[in-house]
């Protein structure tokens, strides 16, 4: 991989006019296993991710890093449940805000340390990000997105009665709270994110899909109880800031068809029509790979000439030369 000499002086920095990429990381990527869920454990993973992200910076890319927050939001909600007899529960929009602050701090610190280690001068900042959804979105009438920890039925029903939850049994693993998952229609802080990237700042934004808010008839913002798909929000940010590339990181390096069967085949490149056909085929997991492919389709069709790729975080250095991932372009 070509890049800057990482042993050079502190005055060296990536070109501010380099290509612009949005890299989306899942919240699950910070959880190694059930025995490593603490804050120090999660930060250790962020430290492992930072060099892969800075590889792109050293190769001349300007970056916006987005991230999921599923496990982290679940931990906050569980603490809130356990403490409900002592303190008021944390509303879900504030849960997302909490995770944006804490996880943003993790990424800013780890990225700044890695840049410093390589002698690269580059400001890093996390932006608390609100995502506007339509109050009339049909998702509000169908709160089907599971959030939080798995509970036994009696406990789940207790919280439903006392806290007004909607609950559902989740895949035979227990009961969970369910909330709406509306489509993001606007990212409130988009102009700020764009201005920062134009100045050469490495930005962390859109955590957890953004804090879910709606606008009232007077244009005022109000938080709502919902969870927004972080890949869809990442696509909105990428389109809004004029990104050349949207990278969605997941647990597998490529998309596969006939996954887990003797006919399994990994895909390297897809045109828009092929990607749409695949998304509609039933081949992709509804809660995993399908939303990622749909987010890339949404981005690429809005920005002809741009591209999207699905890969793993440890293969990010192969992105500039397209040596990794499943690529979607027009």
**Which residues are annotated as catalytic?**
27-28, 145, 230, 292
Contact 320, 1 (CB under 8 A): yes
Write the CB contacts of 102 (distance below 8 Å, at least 6 apart in sequence).
39, 72
How far is the C-alpha of 118 from the C-alpha of 10, rounded, in Å?
Answer: 8
Q: How far apart are CA 204 and CA 202, in angstroms?
A: 7
CB 213 within 8 A of CB 147: no
Show the beta-strand stretches assigned E in the chain.
Answer: 20-25, 62-67, 124-126, 130-133, 145-151, 166-169, 175-179, 184-187, 202-204, 211-215, 221-223, 245-249, 255-257, 265-267, 269-271, 307-311, 326-329
8 Å CB contact between 119 and 8: yes
The residues near 10 (Cβ < 8 Å, ≥ 6 apart) are 119, 120, 121
């Amino acid at each position: 991989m070509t890049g800057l000499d990482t042993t050079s002086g502190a005055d060296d920095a990536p070109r501010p006019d380099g290509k612009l990429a949005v890299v989306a990381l899942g919240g699950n990527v910070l959880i190694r296993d059930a025995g490593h869920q603490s804050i120090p454990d999660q930060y250790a993973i962020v430290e492992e991710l930072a060099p892969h992200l800075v590889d792109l910076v050293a190769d001349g890319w300007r970056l916006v890093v987005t991230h999921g927050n599923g496990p982290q939001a679940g931990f906050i909600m569980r603490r809130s449940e356990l403490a409900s007899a002592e303190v008021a529960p944390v509303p879900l929009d504030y849960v997302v805000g909490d995770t944006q602050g804490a996880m943003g701090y993790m990424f800013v610190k780890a990225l700044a340390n890695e840049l410093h280690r390589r002698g690269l001068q580059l400001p890093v900042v996390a932006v608390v990000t609100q995502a506007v959804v339509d109050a009339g979105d049909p998702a509000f009438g169908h709160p089907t997105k599971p959030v939080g920890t798995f509970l036994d039925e009696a406990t789940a029903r207790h919280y439903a009665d006392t806290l007004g939850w909607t609950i559902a049994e989740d895949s035979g693993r227990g009961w969970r709270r369910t909330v709406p998952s509306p489509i993001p229609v606007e990212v409130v802080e988009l102009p700020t994110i764009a201005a920062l990237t134009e100045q050469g700042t490495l930005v962390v934004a859109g955590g957890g899909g953004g804090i879910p808010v709606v606008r009232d008839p007077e244009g005022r913002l109000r938080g709502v109880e919902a969870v927004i798909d972080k890949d869809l929000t990442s696509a909105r940010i990428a389109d809004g800031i004029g990104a050349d590339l949207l990278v969605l990181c997941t647990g597998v390096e490529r998309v596969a068809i006939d996954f887990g069967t003797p006919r399994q085949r990994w895909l390297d490149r897809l045109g828009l029509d092929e990607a749409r056909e695949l998304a509609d085929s039933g081949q992709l997991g509804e809660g995993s790979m399908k939303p990622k492919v749909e987010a890339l389709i949404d981005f690429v069709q809005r920005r002809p000439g741009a591209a999207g790729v699905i890969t793993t975080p440890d293969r990010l250095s192969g992105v500039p030369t397209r040596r990794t991932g499943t690529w979607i372009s027009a």
